[in-house]
């Protein structure tokens, strides 16, 4: 419907001044309130070239407290960005709690260019997949309490031509109109068609579009202010209502999740497989050499690889990872140990810190524990709400699907040992002067909750074993057996993608 919109609307100078005084005052007050309530705010500016994006963003930020917002200009993606899933660079720029990020162009820009232009700059680009990824990205943010305001600045083809021509005539401005601008201008109608589809597919109740008629700067400014104000007012009222609900103690009581009825996969795992040291030593070298070759191949073919290690305390994650990387080229891989989130990380969506660590195409990232902490330790210890960990299964599946869409090789290991084996290893550690540092009081406390953890593990294995991201259970009572199985699995997964 973009083509049919009335673009002639104007606001005169006197009216503008009065209205804006009031709106600026209100917006500033709302920003302060949002900071206090720790609401993260995402503002997206998209629009035609020469629609006045720069000017309008400036109008908006003049009113805001500059300590609490950042403007992120989406230029051509750099080396770092081309070699990662296309939402990566936006994920890492999402605002912390109480902050505002203004995107001067955003995740929509490249998707649109890729649709219309011949040279494609997004790897493995698929138009429909892009809509789905964008919608799940935006929903993950709003589910986590973000406010998203999306503007599309609309001008007609004629106005765009006039503005380009005027800029070109002004000596100091002429550099601002490039060949690319004129070439895109000629394809205005093609862009319009693609835009209408893009806007329709991504106009959701959690992140709706606001179309800004941008022929008249004053009209556009007022519309932008009003939209931001309205969205903030609604969210702030919502947050306050929720808070008062909590105070009134009207909380949802459930019976807990431990009814002994969760699906069991682990009970079936046969932990007896073992391996003689001699056999192990013979094979491990061969596998490690193969891994080294494959590391080189994925680099050449620019395939990103993500390997996740989860498992019981003392299941042997460290030793397993050590054998995996022993002969690898350190420039091609990174081991990322995951501990409890720090203060900065806590102020973001819980997936945010993992997005930071996603490997470039051609690189291998090995996670020693991972985003699954949300549905394991955070769930069991009550570090997140039941709603949050239940939502997390979907969020994790979506993130892993985005990785898979980008062509990532994803291997997920659950290192399984039984309770007796864990006790044996704990005792051994306790009694060994070289290993006792590895054993903490927390390990013993976790061990007491074995059954509760097992329920969480079972549910995790079941709910996050999607077709593009299967779990491999590594029987780890025998360390030798476990190491070879992990090596073999990684080799198989990479070979399948080559």
Interface contacts to a second copy, rule CB under 8 A? 1, 4-6, 8-9, 196-197, 200-201, 203-205, 208, 211, 213, 222-223, 226-227, 230, 233-234, 237-238, 240-241, 244-245, 248, 250-255, 259, 261, 263-269, 390-391, 393-394, 397, 461-463, 465-467, 470-471, 473
| Residue listed under structure tokens 């949300």 | 374
User: DSSP secondary-structure letter at 144?
Assistant: T
Shorter beta-carbon distance to a second copy: residue 253 or 278 = 253
Shorter beta-carbon distance to a second copy: residue 199 or 490 = 199
- Compute the distance between CA of residue 417 and CA of residue 177 in angstroms, rounded to an integer: 65
> What's the min distance (Å) between Cβ of 291 and a second copy?
26
Shorter beta-carbon distance to a second copy: residue 63 or 465 = 465
What number of other Cβ atoms are within 10 A of residue 403's Cβ?
Answer: 21
> What's the min distance (Å) between Cβ of 377 and a second copy?
20
- Compute the distance between CA of residue 123 and CA of residue 85 in angstroms, rounded to an integer: 8
CA-only gyration radius of the chain, Å: 27
> What's the min distance (Å) between Cβ of 192 and a second copy?
12
Angle between helix axes 53-62 and 217-247 (nearest 10 degrees) is 50
> What's the min distance (Å) between Cβ of 316 and a second copy?
21
Q: How many CA atoms lie within 13 A of 480 on its CB side?
A: 14
> What's the min distance (Å) between Cβ of 11 and a second copy?
10
Shorter beta-carbon distance to a second copy: residue 46 or 213 = 213
- Compute the distance between CA of residue 374 and CA of residue 390 in angstroms, rounded to an integer: 9
The stretches of 301-385 forming alpha helices (DSSP H) are 317-325, 343-346, 352-357, 377-380
Shorter beta-carbon distance to a second copy: residue 81 or 310 = 310
> What's the min distance (Å) between Cβ of 340 and a second copy?
24
User: DSSP secondary-structure letter at 103?
Assistant: E
> What's the min distance (Å) between Cβ of 410 and a second copy?
14
Shorter beta-carbon distance to a second copy: residue 280 or 406 = 406
Q: Say how many Å lie between the first and final Cα of the chain, rounded.
A: 44
The alpha carbon dihedral of 342, 344, 347, 353 has a sign of negative
Shorter beta-carbon distance to a second copy: residue 199 or 361 = 199
β-partners of residue 366 are 307, 335
> What's the min distance (Å) between Cβ of 244 and a second copy?
4
> What's the min distance (Å) between Cβ of 248 and a second copy?
6
Shorter beta-carbon distance to a second copy: residue 158 or 240 = 240
| Residue listed under structure tokens 């039941």 | 386
> What's the min distance (Å) between Cβ of 114 and a second copy?
17
Tell me which residue of 191, 43, 45 sits closest to 105, measured CA to CA. 45
Contact 44, 137 (CB under 8 A): no
- Compute the distance between CA of residue 77 and CA of residue 114 in angstroms, rounded to an integer: 13
Shorter beta-carbon distance to a second copy: residue 309 or 389 = 389
> What's the min distance (Å) between Cβ of 301 and a second copy?
27
Question: Would you mind telling me the total number of residues written for the chain in this entry?
Answer: 498
306 backbone dihedrals φ, ψ, rounded to 5°: -125, 125
Contact 31, 179 (CB under 8 A): no
Shorter beta-carbon distance to a second copy: residue 8 or 121 = 8
Angle between helix axes 157-169 and 179-186 (nearest 10 degrees) is 160
Beta-carbon contacts of 79 under 8 Å, excluding residues fewer than 6 positions away, are none
Q: How many CA atoms lie within 13 A of 215 on its CB side?
A: 14
Tell me which residue of 131, 144, 52, 64 sits closest to 102, measured CA to CA. 64
């Amino acid at each position: 419907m973009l083509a049919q919109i009335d673009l002639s609307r104007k606001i005169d100078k006197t009216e503008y001044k009065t209205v804006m005084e009031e709106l600026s005052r209100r917006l500033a007050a709302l920003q302060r309130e949002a900071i206090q309530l720790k609401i993260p705010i995402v503002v997206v500016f998209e629009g035609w070239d020469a629609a006045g994006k720069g000017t309008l963003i400036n109008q908006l930020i003049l009113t805001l407290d500059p300590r609490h917002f950042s403007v992120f200009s989406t230029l051509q993606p750099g080396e770092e960005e081309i070699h990662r899933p296309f939402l990566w660079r936006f994920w890492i720029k999402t605002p912390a709690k109480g902050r505002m990020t203004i995107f001067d162009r955003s995740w929509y820009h490249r998707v649109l260019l890729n649709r219309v232009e011949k040279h494609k700059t997004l790897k493995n680009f698929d138009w429909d997949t892009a809509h789905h990824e964008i919608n799940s990205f935006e929903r993950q943010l709003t589910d986590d309490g973000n406010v998203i305001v999306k503007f599309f600045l609309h001008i007609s083809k004629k106005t765009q031509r006039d503005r380009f021509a005027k800029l070109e005539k002004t000596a100091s401005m002429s550099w601002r109109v490039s060949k690319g601008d004129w070439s895109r201008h000629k394809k205005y109608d093609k862009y319009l068609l693609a835009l209408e589809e893009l806007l329709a597919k991504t106009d959701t109740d959690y992140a709706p579009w606001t179309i800004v008629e941008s022929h008249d700067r004053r009209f556009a400014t007022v519309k932008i202010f009003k939209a931001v104000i309205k969205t903030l007012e609604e969210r702030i009222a919502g947050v306050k209502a929720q808070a008062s609900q909590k105070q009134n103690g009207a909380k949802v009581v459930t019976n807990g999740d431990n009814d002994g009825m969760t699906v069991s996969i682990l009970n079936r795992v046969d932990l007896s497989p073992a391996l003689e040291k001699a056999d192990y030593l013979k094979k491990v070298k061969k596998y490690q050499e193969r891994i080294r070759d494959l590391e080189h191949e994925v680099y050449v073919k620019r395939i990103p690889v993500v390997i996740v290690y989860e498992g019981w305390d003392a299941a042997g994650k460290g030793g397993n990872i050590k054998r995996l990387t022993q002969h690898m080229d350190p420039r091609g891989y990174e081991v990322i140990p995951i501990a409890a989130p720090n203060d900065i990380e806590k102020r973001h969506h819980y997936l945010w810190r993992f997005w930071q660590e996603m490997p470039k195409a051609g690189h291998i990232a090995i996670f020693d524990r991972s985003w699954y902490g949300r549905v394991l330790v955070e769930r069991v210890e009550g570090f997140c709400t039941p709603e949050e960990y239940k939502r997390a299964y979907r969020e994790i599946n979506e993130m892993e699907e985005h990785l898979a869409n980008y062509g990532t090789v994803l291997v997920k290991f659950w290192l399984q040992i039984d309770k007796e084996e864990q006790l044996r290893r704990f005792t051994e550690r306790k009694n060994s002067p070289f290993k006792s540092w590895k054993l903490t009081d927390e390990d013993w406390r976790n061990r007491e909750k074995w059954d509760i953890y097992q329920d969480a593990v079972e549910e995790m294995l079941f709910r996050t074993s999607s077709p593009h991201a299967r779990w491999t259970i590594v029987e780890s009572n025998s360390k030798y057996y476990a190491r070879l199985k992990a090596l073999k699995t990684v080799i198989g997964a990479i070979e399948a993608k080559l």
